Amino acid sequence: MREAITQLFQAVGKDYSDRGVAQLELHQGHDIHAFYRLSKSPSKVIHVQGYPGMSSPEQARVWARMMDYDKMMQIRTSETVSVGNEHEATTQIFSNFESGILIPYDAKVLEDKLAENVPELK
């Protein structure tokens, strides 16, 4: 599941990059973290977390939120928490991702769910 989630996040990142709406920063640890930094609002970053241990071959469990990029980087450089745990930088919880959701390994599905919260991604 780890590779499938990684490929999903990379496919979304490539589409966003090709369309000029966001740039991807990917981190892998226990979970997989995709940070999509908005091109027109670089102080905003969408954090999407994928959970390999809670995913299946058919579906990925993912969760997402909006964060303040500068505050996230400030927290990250303080080395007080690991990447993906910069909770104090959260500016918006995405209600359609509450508690994590299961989606197919389809970039369009993830992009549509994110766009419900972030119209700049359309």
Q: Per residue in 54-77, pLDDT tens? A: 999 999 999 999 999 999 999 888
**Range 23-48 average pLDDT:** 96
Question: Which pLDDT belongs to residue 78?
Answer: 84
Residue type, 71: K
Total-model pTM: 0.94
- Assess whether pLDDT exceeds 80 at residue 79: no
The number of C-alpha atoms within 13 Å of 47 and in the hemisphere containing its C-beta is 25
In the chain, what's the furthest Cα-to-Cα distance?
38
Nearest-angstrom CA–CA distance, 51 and 41: 27
CB 83 within 8 A of CB 33: yes
Least confident window among 10-19, 79-88, 97-106, 110-119:
79-88
Question: Which pLDDT belongs to residue 83?
Answer: 78
